[in-house]
Amino acid sequence: MKKIVIIGGGFAGINLAKRLSKNSEHEITLVDRNNYHFFPPLLYQVGTAFIEASNISYPFRKMFHGRNIQFFMGNLEHIDPLEKKVVTDNGNLNYDTLVLAMGTETNFFGNQQIKKYALPMKTIDDALELRNHILLQLEKSVRTAEPGIRLTHSNIVIAGGGPTGVELAGMLAEMGKNIIRKDYPEADVWPGKIFLVDGLPTLLAPMSKKSQNEAISVLKNLGVEILLDRLVQNYDGEKVSLSDGTEISSSTLIWASGVVARSVDGIPETSLGKSRRILVDEFNKVQGLQDVFAIGDQCYQTSDPAFPNGHPQLAQVAIQQGSLLGENLNRENKGKAWKVFKYNDKGSMAIISKFHAVVDLPKGFFKGFFAWLVWLFIHIIPIAGFRNKVKLSFNWIWSFLTNDPTLRLIIRPNSYTHNSSFKAAKTIPEKE
């Protein structure tokens, strides 16, 4: 049997593994650092205490019941293309065919100060860390009598005006509007603002002008301060410095400003393109290597006539590349020719706030409540597990009807509460 090792259990890796599992001639092993698959587009809702992390996560071993797919939990350390071996922190694996589908990681553009203090949004751990952090800053704010310190704990800065940044800003603005004053009645006036910063002259840069204008209009109506044509240059944990000299007091900087492909030790430099993406041919085979493929956000493919500068790093690209590579490997066993990858662009969408979303289709644009419903439906379909789909749907219905999701739990507080930094510099005097 042909040994096929897949590194990464995201959209690309999962769709490849499922397609390959239909062929009993393959011995398939999927490697991932976590024991679960999760749905990245909804991470921001976990981070803002809107849904549970379990709603968008599903264990690999349960997912693979009844399929000829083995799961191997481990971190990739390096690959050896000559010996056809994968080295992980939990042991080695030999392969006949290797597929890299590890996705991306947060790009801090070499700024170590921002990397040290900013909050990324790429993993379940990141989302839970953000939820804890925001809730703890609110607790600090109401414990503080000093106006300047209260403002620092209340302000939230989001770097990056793409879909993640826009969706985060909208969700946090809704949270401030509907929840904070009820949860924290001791704060007579809430001083904090949400700042959305981007280096481009508009939000949602990859989308249509109509979507961009709608996002700006809705967020401004929610009270979000939009700062365009400027970059976050520095951050020390309490003050955000922008490229135009603006300084914002804030203990929360959420970094949604860019990604870079995960590095793979063993891939030659000549096989790497911009942002560390791995160069592949029209069949997703890594240039310069034998029997090694890369799919999804990690690869850079320029052979598609409609996308000569590479495909966008979207879930649909990863799903389609994973499915086609699985089909091609199955075709190879039957002696059939491989199919060239061509991305079928089905459009893009972003949710801005409750009842407001934008949808760009190849032949049109629509917005508002109907776009919001379409966004919800489209994001329910890929969720792994029927139970998760039902739970997520119920949580959404309850939260949207009541404007009050009940998930504001600080579930990992020890590292914060046992740290002296949790204590406010000056607390409000006790009432007699």
Residue burial 331-366, b: 16+ Cβ < 10 Å; e: rest = eeeeeeebeebebebeebbbbbbbebbbbbeeeebe
Structure tokens at 264: 């793979």
Indicate the pTM of the whole model.
Answer: 0.88
Asked if residue 423 has pLDDT above 60, the reply is no
**What local confidence, expressed as pLDDT, does residue 54 receive?**
85
Which residue reads 């740290």 in tokens? 419
Q: Identify the residue with better confidence: 54 or 415.
A: 54
The region, left, alpha or beta by phi > 0 then psi within -120 to 50, assigned to residue 357 is beta
Residues with catalytic annotation?
167
Distance CA 292, CA 264 (A): 12
Mean pLDDT of all residues in 143-171 = 91
> What single string gives the DSSP state of each residue in 216-263?
HHHHHHTT-EEE-S--EEEE-SSEEEETTS-EEE-S-EEE-S-EEEPP
Tracing tokens 């592949």 back to the chain, one arrives at 280
* Residue 302 per-residue DSSP state: -
- Which CATH number does 112-257+408-422 carry? 3.50.50.100
| pLDDT tens digits, 368-390 | 888 877 877 777 777 777 777 78
Residue 417 is predicted with a pLDDT of: 43
Give 311's DSSP letter.
Answer: -
Burial of residue 188 (number of CB atoms within 10 Å: 0-12, 13-18, 19+): exposed
- Whole-angstrom CA distances from 81 to 46, 152, 296 are 39, 51, 20
Q: Tokens in use for 266?
A: 């063993």
The Cα 113–Cα 233 span in angstroms is 9
| d(C-alpha 161, C-alpha 215), whole Å | 10
Q: How far apart are CA 133 and CA 142, in angstroms?
A: 15
| pLDDT given for residue 124 in this prediction | 93
Spatial contact of 55 and 32, defined as CB atoms under 8 Å apart: no
The CA-CA-CA angle for residues 277, 274, 283, to 5°, reads 45
* Coil vs helix vs strand at 3: strand
Residues 57 and 38: beta-carbon distance below 8 Å: yes
Domains 2-33+74-106+259-333 and 112-257+408-422 alike in fold: yes
- The answer to whether residue 319 scores a pLDDT higher than 60 is yes
Quick one: which of 106, 149, 99 has its CA closest to 126? 106
Question: What is the Rg, in whole angstroms, of the alpha carbon atoms belonging to the chain?
Answer: 23
Q: How far, in Å, CA of 137 to CA of 130, rounded? A: 10
Domain extents for the chain?
2-33+74-106+259-333, 112-257+408-422
The fraction of the chain above a pLDDT of 90, given in percent, is 62
Instruction: Return the axis-axis angle of helices 368-380 and 386-402, rounded to nearest 10°.
Output: 150
Q: Could you report the per-residue pLDDT of 238-284, keeping only the tens digit for each?
A: 999 999 999 999 999 999 998 999 999 999 999 999 999 999 999 99
Q: Residue 213 and residue 192: Cα distance in Å, rounded? A: 25
CATH superfamily name and code, 2-33+74-106+259-333: FAD/NAD(P)-binding domain (3.50.50.60)
Residue 404 is predicted with a pLDDT of: 67
Contact present, 101 and 110 (Cβ < 8 Å): no
Distance CA 233, CA 244 (A): 9
